[in-house]
Amino acid sequence: MSIWVNAETRVLVQGITGREGQFHARQCIAYGTKVVAGVTPGKGGQYMDEVPVFNTVKEAVRETGANCSLIFVPPTFAADAILESIDAGLPLIVAITEGIPVLDMMRVKGALKSSSSRLIGPNCPGIITPGQAKVGIMPGHIHRPGNIGVVSRSGTLTYEVVHQLTLQGLGQSTCIGIGGDPINGTNFIDCLKAFQEDPETKGIVMVGEIGGSAEEEAAEFVKTFVTKPVVGFVAGLTAPPGRRMGHAGAIISGSSGTAQAKIAAMEAAGIAVVKNLGHLGELCKEIFSKAT
């Protein structure tokens, strides 16, 4: 078991003919992911290696039965690409693109509310169920199939965490990067809930960073609903202060947002928070070996 993606997931890649899209579509295929279609407006009828390219998402879905979109479209057009996938009714949309304007994401968020699509990202590494499907840009070889669910706001920091888990012999059920942007599709709570309900997931690692209040809200959720052991990490204890926006930022976020506040909220919820990233793997081994 796993959450959201598995060996049966049929992936279409939006922006498959671009440099990054092409490179990572090939990497996903090499990992064993079923990449069934590509979409690049104006390049319909062509092929990227063995993968047929279509002009529109709807056409690609109709012809190939794709049920998941992976987006590499540049930030200028990325929101439109996400909206196109929502409109085509894709259940899962993974947006890798970094630098999408906040207002564009607000419109996407509004469109998501009245749809049944789940968006992961943007500005994220994607989602992987080790040994089954890699829908993203993470290096596949550092993962191992197993029982630990990983959810993170970061990209490369997630790789570091996964790498340490694997070195300790702790495989992963599914790893999700939810993205570092202020407004994203799937949040910590969505992932924690799915991991809690997934019988194969025995323990959860949650990786946060400064800014916003997503970690504090997630901690509240863990306290009430999560019975599986959770290990946490928050990046940014030494981040420079004062990078804030006028009074309004302080008014709306209050004291939340600092690494200290997040760590305190997570510890109060019973999450084992690691302070030294270098020791995360060892601590996970200690905590999860009791549970798994």
Partner 1 sequence: MKIHEYQAKELFSKYGVTVPRGGVAFTAHEALEVAKTLGGYPVVLKAQIHAGGRGKGGGVKLAFSEEEVKQYASELIGMRLVTHQTGPEGKIVRKILVEEGLPIVQELYLGMLPDRRTGTIAIMASLAGGMDIEEVAAKEPEKIITVNVDPLLGLQPFHIRQFVYGLKLSSDIAKAFTTMITNLYRLFIDYDCSLVEINPLVITSDQRLIALDAKVNFDDNGLFRHKDILAYRDLDEEDPFEVEASKYNLNYIKMDGNIGNMVNGAGLAMATMDLIKLAGAEPANFLDVGGGASAEMVENGFRIILSDPNVKGVLINIFGGILRCDVLAQGIVEAAKKVEVKVPVVIRMEGTNVEKGREILQQSGLNLIVATDLNDAAQKIAAIAKS
Interface residues with partner 1 (CB under 8 A)? 20, 24, 75-76, 98-107, 109-111, 125, 137-139, 142, 152-160, 163, 180, 182-183, 207, 209-210, 212-214, 217, 233, 235-240, 242-252, 254, 275-279
Give the C-alpha separation, 161 to 103, whole Å: 32
To the nearest whole angstrom, how small is the minimum distance from the Cβ of residue 32 to partner 1? 17
Q: Whose Cβ is closer to partner 1: residue 87's or residue 98's?
A: 98
Q: Is 141 a catalytic residue?
A: no
Residue placing its CB nearer to partner 1 in the complex, 247 or 290: 247
- Using a 10 angstrom Cβ sphere, with 0-12 exposed, 13-18 middle and 19 or more buried, the burial of residue 258 is middle
Query: Is residue 281 within a helix (H) or strand (E), and if so which, with residue range?
Result: helix 280-291
Structure tokens at 262: 């997040």
- Least separation in angstroms between CB 251 and partner 1: 4
| 82 and 28 Cβ atoms separated by less than 8 Å | no
Contact 215, 188 (CB under 8 A): yes
195-to-51, 149, 279 alpha-carbon distances in Å? 32, 6, 23
Asked if residues 95 and 120 have their Cβ atoms less than 8 Å apart, the reply is yes
Give the residue from 63, 68, 51, 65 showing the smallest Cα distance to 6. 68
CA–CA dist 186, 127 (Å, integer)? 11
Region for residue 270 given its phi and psi (left: phi exceeds 0; alpha: psi -120 to 50; beta: otherwise): left
Q: Which is nearer to partner 1, 41 or 74 (CB)?
A: 74
Provide the minimum distance between the beta carbon of 53 and partner 1 in the complex, in angstroms, as a whole number. Answer: 22
Look at residues 220, 208, 222, 216 and name the one whose alpha carbon lies nearest to residue 254: 216
At 291, phi and psi to the nearest 5?
Answer: -95, -25
Which is closer to partner 1, CB of 10 or CB of 163? 163
Least CB distance to partner 1 at residue 200 (A):
25
Which residue of the set 24, 141, 163, 247 is catalytic? 247
> Distance of CA 201 to CAs 33, 204, 225, 231, Å?
21, 7, 15, 13
- Nearer to partner 1 among residue 199 and residue 246 (C-beta): 246
Min. distance of Cβ 13 from partner 1 in angstroms?
Answer: 15
> In the complex, what is the shortest distance from the CB of residue 136 to partner 1, in angstroms, rounded to a whole number?
9
**In the beta sheet, which residues pair with residue 94?**
70, 120
Question: Is 24 in a helix, a strand, or coil?
Answer: helix
Nearer to partner 1, 155 or 229 (CB): 155
Q: Which residues are catalytic?
A: 247
